[in-house]
Structure 1
């Protein structure tokens, strides 16, 4: 049985930011929904406003892969069912809400160090804010050509 958009979003919120508290989870949910709603660039072209296409886009979310680096990935959306807080945040994000400091960020990652100013490294994102362990990045002008 295929998961609903709500279920998929709740699962990825838990997998990607389950240990980051409510604001960390809302920040990740905001970024994912920014990708769904961006009106230009790669995510607009590939995602076409569909959360499923964004989540399943190849190479975007480690939690969407059962195999990582040739080995089983124990931290994925299939082995970590969501709890009520994850559904609540998914509903919040699907309703159009966004966490203010995240802005229009399209990327996040946990560098386990200081946040680099540019990410991804092709220069299409610039540092916006750090929320707990994750750094968030807004698109630069270069993103429009992706």
Structure 2
């Protein structure tokens, strides 16, 4: 489907963080846009400043995948029906706004438990904060060699 960047981001926000409240959705949107504007490493090389390339990069967002583990993934961006809040947050993030706690985070994940790992993934990211069910990670110097 030929969604605009705004539409893709709104759908990803709803899918990845729709149950996390406004702060959680803004945090996830901030990570996507931090990747779009990365000055080095994998996201600068692969994304080349494109929201679409960042969201659709294989293996990055479960919600951007129609299948997971060989089975249909019902919770994907194509099945989302964004509401005005999702578009408002997408617009907010595209305009360059970020939640200070997310800082320059390039990753988030849900540990499905009370603790966030200190490093993620491997040693290219260090723990920054937890917002709702998601842990957020800033890049280490090692990231820029990816």
TM-score (norm 1): 0.98
- 1:56 is displaced (CA, Å) by 0.7
Residue 137 of structure 1 aligns to a residue in which SS?
strand
Equivalent-residue separation in structure 2 for 1:72 and 1:50 (angstroms): 27
Equivalent-residue separation in structure 2 for 1:5 and 1:141 (angstroms): 29
CA deviations 1:48-98 (Å, max 9, x no partner) are 000100001010000001111100101000111101000000000011101
Give runs of ≥4 in structure 1 deviating > 6 Å.
Answer: none
Structure 1 unaligned regions, length at least 5: none
Residue 74 of structure 1 aligns to a residue in which SS?
coil
Residue in structure 2 matched with residue 86 of structure 1 by the alignment: 86
* 1:8 pairs with 2:15: no
- Mapping of residues 53-132 of structure 1, within 5 Å: 53-113=53-113, 114-121=115-122, 123-132=123-132
Equivalent-residue separation in structure 2 for 1:140 and 1:25 (angstroms): 24
What is the Cα-based RMSD across aligned positions, in Å?
Answer: 0.6
Equivalent-residue separation in structure 2 for 1:99 and 1:7 (angstroms): 21
Equivalent-residue separation in structure 2 for 1:73 and 1:136 (angstroms): 24
Number of residue pairs matched by the alignment: 145
Equivalent-residue separation in structure 2 for 1:43 and 1:79 (angstroms): 26
